[in-house]
Chains A and B, each alone.
Chain A
Amino acid sequence: MTVLDTPAWRPRTDAAPLLPDPEPYRLLGTPEAAALDPALLRALYGQLVRGRRYNAQATALTKQGRLAVYPSSTGQEACEIAAALALQPQDWLFPSYRDTLAVVARGVDPVEALTLLRGDWHTGYDPHTHRVAPLSTPLATQLPHAVGLAHAARLSGDDVVALAMVGDGGTSEGDFHEALNFAAVWQAPVVFLVQNNGFAISVPLAKQTAAPTLAHKAVGYGMPGRLVDGNDAAAMHQVLTEAVERARTGGGPTLVEAVTYRIEAHTNADDATRYRDEAEITPWRGHDPIDLLERELTSRGLLDDALRSGTAADAEEMAASLRERMHTDPQLDPMDLFAHVYAEPTPQLREQQAQLRAELEAERQS
């Protein structure tokens, strides 16, 4: 036997089955769409319309000074909604800062989901209630958390899958690499969803990576990569559901790249005209996730006026409630600043607590 015969010289995994499809996977408008459950399509439609309305309302709230900032996911609603709907109640979602829609679709209160962006605290919801981790601002740092949580659940014998969301820019971060590597080595029940929306603030994907696709990165870790049309809600739902079930049944992690587009600027504070032409956006407007779904529903006779107007009314009601609740000033207690630094404050924090209390008292008396 020579070293060439030893395990170290042989691939540990067959790379071919891990490769993504050459084209993004699509369902809507294809013959396969005929088999899709009407109830699922209607549910996706209702959520997509609500999601778009939520984005519009949140953006309006930034203009009214009610939100510090809002990174809109307009155009990416199919990714957001499919991520939430692919999970079972016991599963966990690990969102990034652009994923408020997924958080709300998972059941978190629409106002509590905006706490970070309103700025009255960093996270407005108890992560355990809906099994949604805090919105993560540092890019890709939430991915190893998802791996660790899924690994812990598996060690505990629990049936829990974690789905972690990241953007195309986030795939350049070291934590992306480390998370995928740990997940594959541990065969952790995790699904990584990359929303490739074309831009990391102003920097286009071409300056971010030389990989054939982001989904191809999966192969290097020994996990399957799936390339999906991120504006096709049905395809997104199917691929994510398959990946979640694969993880649940011991098949290990999957990397899903959703090809989509950020219709709005990075946030309300960004000026996208400095780095992209309107002409670039136009084709994406013609490939809109809600339009694609409406066409499918219409062609199958599933979208009548009642459903259309009922869905719109439901979205308006949500927006009105959000508007009304967000126009109420949050009640803040400055003493909360010290409440959760440690289980018990240090002697130094007690001193500072007393100082602030005295300052507040002086303010009240002046």
Chain B
Amino acid sequence: MTTATHAPGRTGTPARKPATMAQALNQALRDSLAADPAVHILGEDVGALGGVFRITDGLTKEFGEDRCTDTPLAEAGILGTAVGMAMYGLRPVVEMQFDAFAYPAFEQLVSHVARMRNRTRGAMPLPLTIRIPYGGGIGGVEHHSDSSEAYYLHTPGLHVVTPATVEDAYGLLRAAIASDDPVVFLEPKRLYWSKSPWSPQEPAEVEPIGRAVVRRPGRTATLITYGPSLPVCLEAAEAAKEEGWDLGVVDLRSLVPFDEETVAAVVRGTGRAVVVHESSGFGGAGAEIAARITERCFHHLEAPVLRVAGFDIPYPPPMLERHHLPGVDRILDAVGRLQWEEA
């Protein structure tokens, strides 16, 4: 687990105006490029356009085409060449334009990125970051809304990280780029425009990768979530007060490493847990988390750990996606099924 350091020399009392997650990610890339000449950004449209989500806005202008490079349109080629650059000692940061457009790079990811350190007995670690905008809720047409985290977390050798707040977007991306291991950095695209008082001149403390955080303490049950589902869970917890439930919310922030200690400690306190994510439930992250909670906290549990996830269907067309995405009602419905009558 690696901690990124801040660029030195930041003093004064910066204004904490609302900033978007997109701005925080952009600042994290800018600060990483400035801090380490080995950092190179590669991707489609990351240059003059600044990326389709503008996350690389201005970076080519500021750092030059060699540091922030528009590549040919070929994801396996982007990741494959990034592997070679990392083999030579650079620290590439790759942008995959959309979740579903990252699949052509899957073989490079699974067969090389995840294995190179292991294959070479540590002689050739690959310090590279693969940024992938993921998830739905933006009205995207087919292939623009997948939640692909289960593919990655099932691949030993990869870290899988996903921020849910503006502060974490900065801190975790800095940490990912500074990591000597490959990090799949999943950016919840429907939170790109979420705002929070955050100043690029005074970024939040950078947390090491692999620590969950309690976003809301609660006594009666715990919602465990990450990325795009965090605001939904916080909203559900607020709404649950009317039902007389005091729900806590845990933001995992990192699926690999999975912070089992924090999750287990919180669930032992409440005895009830619901795992919430928008990717399909079958074989998903929630299944693993629920199994681990059951193994570790069985005697503290008042009810089976439930999952609220996307249906096991191909991601729906935008006009139907609201039925697929876990919303407040579906989360509260699950909470209602936590065997309260026996309590």
For A188, give the chain B residue with the smallest CB separation.
B81
Contact in complex: B125, A127 (CB < 8 Å): no
Please measure, in the bound complex, the distance between the C-alpha atom of A152 and the C-alpha atom of B11, giving whole angstroms: 35
Q: With an 8 A cutoff between CB atoms, is B150 at the interface?
A: no
Instruction: Find B108's partner among A144, A146, A153, A342 (CB 8 Å cutoff).
Output: A144
Residues on the B chain within 8 Å of A162, using CB: 84
Contact in complex: A339, B112 (CB < 8 Å): no
Instruction: Find A348's partner among B107, B180, B257 (CB 8 Å cutoff).
Output: B257
Q: With an 8 A cutoff between CB atoms, is B95 at the interface?
A: no
Q: With an 8 A cutoff between CB atoms, is A178 at the interface?
A: yes
0 or 1 for each of B71-89: is its CB under 8 Å from A? (1 = yes): 1101011011111111111
Contact in complex: B180, A343 (CB < 8 Å): yes
0 or 1 for each of B274-304: is its CB under 8 Å from A? (1 = yes): 0000000000000000000000000000000
Binds B, one of A118-126, A191-199, A279-287, A312-320: A118-126
Given contacts A141-B108, A156-B88, A341-B118, contact A181 B257 (CB under 8 A): no
Instruction: Find B80's partner among A123, A141, A152, A344 (CB 8 Å cutoff).
Output: A141
Given contacts A122-B118, A138-B111, contact A145 B258 (CB under 8 A): no
Q: With an 8 A cutoff between CB atoms, is A151 at the interface?
A: yes
Contact in complex: B80, A145 (CB < 8 Å): yes
Residues on the B chain within 8 Å of A336, using CB: 121
Contact in complex: A152, B181 (CB < 8 Å): no
Contact in complex: B121, A123 (CB < 8 Å): yes
Given contacts A128-B123, A152-B88, A339-B121, contact A141 B258 (CB under 8 A): no
Q: With an 8 A cutoff between CB atoms, is B1 at the interface?
A: yes
Residues on the B chain within 8 Å of A150, using CB: 84
Instruction: Find A123's partner among B111, B119, B125, B257 (CB 8 Å cutoff).
Output: B119
Q: With an 8 A cutoff between CB atoms, is A133 at the interface?
A: yes
Q: With an 8 A cutoff between CB atoms, is B261 at the interface?
A: yes
Given contacts A144-B81, A145-B83, A149-B85, contact A341 B261 (CB under 8 A): no
Given contacts A143-B80, A179-B80, A343-B180, contact A149 B1 (CB under 8 A): no
Q: With an 8 A cutoff between CB atoms, is A148 at the interface?
A: yes
Residues on the B chain within 8 Å of A141, using CB: 80, 107-108, 111-112
0 or 1 for each of A228-259: is its CB under 8 Å from B? (1 = yes): 00000000000000000000000000000000
**Other contacts beyond A126-B120, A347-B260: 14, CB < 8 A:** A141-B80, A143-B80, A144-B77, A151-B81, A155-B40, A174-B76, A175-B80, A181-B77, A182-B72, A336-B121, A339-B121, A340-B118, A342-B181, A347-B258
Closest 5 interchain pairs by CB? A148-B84, A144-B80, A178-B77, A148-B81, A152-B88
Residues of chain B from 107 to 148 with CB closer than 8 A to chain A in the complex:
107-108, 111-112, 115-125
22 pairs across A/B with beta carbons < 8 Å?
A122-B115, A122-B118, A123-B119, A123-B120, A134-B119, A141-B80, A141-B107, A145-B83, A148-B83, A148-B86, A151-B81, A151-B84, A178-B76, A179-B81, A182-B74, A185-B72, A341-B117, A342-B159, A343-B179, A343-B181, A347-B257, A347-B258
Least Cβ–Cβ distance between B279 and chain A, in angstroms: 20
Given contacts A138-B107, A144-B80, contact A340 B122 (CB under 8 A): yes
Contact in complex: A181, B121 (CB < 8 Å): no
Residue with the highest number of chain B CB atoms closer than 10 Å, among A148, A153, A348: A148
For A178, give the chain B residue with the smallest CB separation.
B77
Contact in complex: A346, B88 (CB < 8 Å): no
Instruction: Find B124's partner among A127, A342, A346, A347 (CB 8 Å cutoff).
Output: A127
Residues on the A chain within 8 Å of B180, using CB: 343
Please measure, in the bound complex, the distance between the C-alpha atom of A346 and the C-alpha atom of B256, giving whole angstroms: 8
Contact in complex: B74, A346 (CB < 8 Å): no
For B123, give the chain A residue with the smallest CB separation.
A126
Residues on the A chain within 8 Å of B200, using CB: none
Please measure, in the bound complex, the distance between the C-alpha atom of A123 and the C-alpha atom of B260, giving whole angstroms: 33
Q: With an 8 A cutoff between CB atoms, is A147 at the interface?
A: yes
Q: With an 8 A cutoff between CB atoms, is B104 at the interface?
A: yes
Q: With an 8 A cutoff between CB atoms, is B14 at the interface?
A: no
Q: With an 8 A cutoff between CB atoms, is B66 at the interface?
A: yes
Q: With an 8 A cutoff between CB atoms, is B2 at the interface?
A: yes
Least Cβ–Cβ distance between A333 and chain B, in angstroms: 11
Q: With an 8 A cutoff between CB atoms, is B210 at the interface?
A: yes
Residues of chain A from 54 to 101 with CB closer than 8 A to chain B in the complex:
none
Contact in complex: A152, B90 (CB < 8 Å): yes
Per the CB 8 Å criterion, the residue count for chain B at the interface is 51
Given contacts A141-B80, A141-B112, A148-B83, contact A128 B90 (CB under 8 A): no
Instruction: Find A121's partner among B81, B121, B260 (CB 8 Å cutoff).
Output: B121
For A149, give the chain B residue with the smallest CB separation.
B84
Q: With an 8 A cutoff between CB atoms, is B157 at the interface?
A: yes
Residues of chain A from 153 to 181 with CB closer than 8 A to chain B in the complex:
153, 155-156, 162, 174-175, 178-179, 181
Contact in complex: B76, A175 (CB < 8 Å): yes
For A135, give the chain B residue with the smallest CB separation.
B119
For B180, give the chain A residue with the smallest CB separation.
A343
Contact in complex: A182, B257 (CB < 8 Å): no
Q: With an 8 A cutoff between CB atoms, is B156 at the interface?
A: yes
Please measure, in the bound complex, the distance between the C-alpha atom of A151 and the C-alpha atom of B92, giving whole angstroms: 12
For B121, give the chain A residue with the smallest CB separation.
A340
Residue with the highest number of chain B CB atoms closer than 10 Å, among A127, A143, A339, A342: A342
Contact in complex: A348, B80 (CB < 8 Å): no
0 or 1 for each of A187-230: is its CB under 8 Å from B? (1 = yes): 00000000000000000000000000000000000000000000
Contact in complex: B84, A147 (CB < 8 Å): yes
Instruction: Find B74's partner among A123, A155, A178, A343 (CB 8 Å cutoff).
Output: A178
Instruction: Find B258's partner among A175, A181, A342, A346 (CB 8 Å cutoff).
Output: A346
Least Cβ–Cβ distance between A132 and chain B, in angstroms: 11
Please measure, in the bound complex, the distance between the C-alpha atom of A255 and the C-alpha atom of B102, giving whole angstroms: 28
Contact in complex: A149, B121 (CB < 8 Å): no
For A347, give the chain B residue with the smallest CB separation.
B260
For B120, give the chain A residue with the smallest CB separation.
A123
Please measure, in the bound complex, the distance between the C-alpha atom of A153 and the C-alpha atom of B82, giving whole angstroms: 12
Given contacts A148-B82, A152-B89, contact A174 B72 (CB under 8 A): no
Least Cβ–Cβ distance between A331 and chain B, in angstroms: 14
Least Cβ–Cβ distance between A159 and chain B, in angstroms: 13
Residues on the A chain within 8 Å of B104, using CB: 174
0 or 1 for each of B34-74: is its CB under 8 Å from A? (1 = yes): 00000010000000000000000000000000100001101
Please measure, in the bound complex, the distance between the C-alpha atom of A150 and the C-alpha atom of B115, giving whole angstroms: 21
